[in-house]
Structure 1
Amino acid sequence: MAEMKVFVINLDEQEKDTGCAWFTLPCNIEALKQSIGLPPDSDRYLISDYDFPFEILQDTDLDLLNNICLAISESEIPPEDIPAIQREFFSNLQELEAGLCNITYHRNCSDMEKTSEHFLCVHGRFYEYNE
């Protein structure tokens, strides 16, 4: 999955063609709202469709989604791996948003045995991780 997109409807303008559009996240949320005629401080929108690696609700906060998409785009984690990570480690999208920056992703390391082998090959030894 290359892009994460949402179809957002302005609930006050839903009868007009200009009150809805597809947006690729991350993006400028103020510009998104302005383009569908939504005031910057309004939350009267609905996400009627989406193309995401995980399930979202119609009333999911756009800023939250934007932050998650930004974190995914800045990480080495492939978007197709996000659903498994979310199910395994996070119970909701807020936890996913807060926790994505704390995940160290090692490609081709599908379990702890492969991760251990990776560390031994790269570092020659195990080491203690200090925060």
Structure 2
Amino acid sequence: MKIGELGAATGTSVRLLRYYEEQGLLESHRVAAGHRRYDEDAPAVVRRIRALLDAGLPTRVIRDLQPCIRQDGTVSACKLETLQEHLDGLDARIAALAETRASLAGLVSDTRARELVGG
């Protein structure tokens, strides 16, 4: 499969596919003319990469997860600790954002209340 075909099959730009390859997430083989060729499972690999990126994982972590990804696309327990650390970090960021939101909502509420009483 050529890079343009892979891009069309996955809705991913050629530039992004090259980036995935540079990051060690996607493998290609060069033919005699120097063109990249991808195996038939490449669309599934790209979809897994996209799903893991959407889950908030950086490319370095996705690269480390590669040996733990099963044929069906699920991740085996060999990197469960890494996934848990990222989940905990996300929970901490959500909690911090909730606090920030509550503070801002209080400020908006106080400002509106002052405006209503002619402040």
With structure 1 as the length reference, what TM-score do the two structures score? 0.33
Q: Which has the higher contact order (CA 8 A, sep 6+)?
A: 1
Going by fraction, where is helix more abundant, 1 or 2? 2
- Higher strand fraction (1 or 2): 1
Q: TM-score, normalised by structure 2?
A: 0.36
